Structure 1
């Protein structure tokens, strides 16, 4: 299984969770139902800071190409955080989960595969929010952030440096990170009396 096949396997195994993380209920969960521009921006910057902190710690622990990949991704997350006009809150569930990932191969999956896949869904809803607010400047900013945050090229490059066993570990870790983010999303909505499953 090469890098592209690994990414496809993650999308397939975690497809349901990713679809639901891209629903219009996402920001309700992320903001605690405080659907204001300030709260949405805070949720976004909190996510980026949490990712940056996790990846920068991994860069210190790893060697060679993996260390460089984590450091570059951490820097990109910090740059995105700097572009969001808000202060971060407490680390979210994804940031907490990243702190539990131990091996370098697993960190490639959780940090370089799962994070961009989740970010793509998250920022889609943020863009939609600012469009609905008639804030085109805000929507354009978050469109740019979405394009950057959802870039899977670093994941492909990092996966390509792993052997087959390492890619299997990365795949499972990516699925685990997505499932952790979804579990928190579902639990939060259920606590509000909302069903995380889509209404068909």
Structure 2
């Protein structure tokens, strides 16, 4: 399998979940229905902070040099993302409770699985970043929309960097399959959390807005 084939397979097999994670209902779920700029920014900052902590921990214990560099670079980007978002807030009291997706990522143990999980996370993050851009465009706040455009560009780089890592790590069909399972499970964890949060608020998670 090639990296491009792997990416296409993950996107195709998770098309519905990714589409719904990119809907306006995903913001509704993340903010507990509080769709104002402050709650959206706080939820986004918390997500970036938790991601930083996940990938920082991976980098600290990773024996593979290429993987360690990938995880460390991603952690640094997530730290910068947290700072960029919190700069838009008057004050920030972080909630470092990992989401279901990051709880799942933190259970992955092998380098191949973590690389696959990271790819799944980047695809979910692409969707959320695009929705965040759209939210602030709708709020007539182009400056904050541009902040999230910059963050999405970093996520695109993370995706490509992770595909390069997978290409280096996966020298057998079994390795690609293990990475694929990790990517699928990561997206599914994010989607299951989305569904549970909306259902808890009495909202039907299926129709895409």
Structures share fold, TM-score greater than 0.5: yes
Give 1:91 shift: 2.6
Pick one of 102, 110, 115 that aligns with 1:108: 115
Structure 1 stretch 171-180 or stretch 88-97: which is displaced more?
Answer: 88-97
Distance 2:21 2:138 in 1: 19
**Residues 13-162 of structure 1: pairs in structure 2 closer than 5 A:** 13-63=13-63, 64-85=65-86, 86=89, 87=92, 88-89=94-95, 90-111=97-118, 113-151=119-157, 152-162=159-169
Listed as ranges, the gaps of 5+ residues in structure 1 are none
Distance 1:74 1:199 in 2: 31
**Misfit runs of 4+, over 6 Å:** none
In 2 relative to 1, CA 37–199 (structure 1 residues): closer, same or farther, beyond 3 Å? closer
Q: Between Structure 1 and Structure 2, how many residues are aligned?
A: 199
- TM-score, with length taken from structure 1: 0.94
Distance 2:167 2:34 in 1: 41
| Matching residue of 1:191 | 200
Give 1:194 shift: 0.9
Structure 1 stretch 44-53 or stretch 148-157: which is displaced more?
Answer: 148-157
Pick one of 176, 179, 184 that aligns with 2:188: 179
- TM-score, with length taken from structure 2: 0.90
1:8-55 C-alpha deviation (Å, 9 max, x unpaired):
111111111101111111100000011111111111111111111111
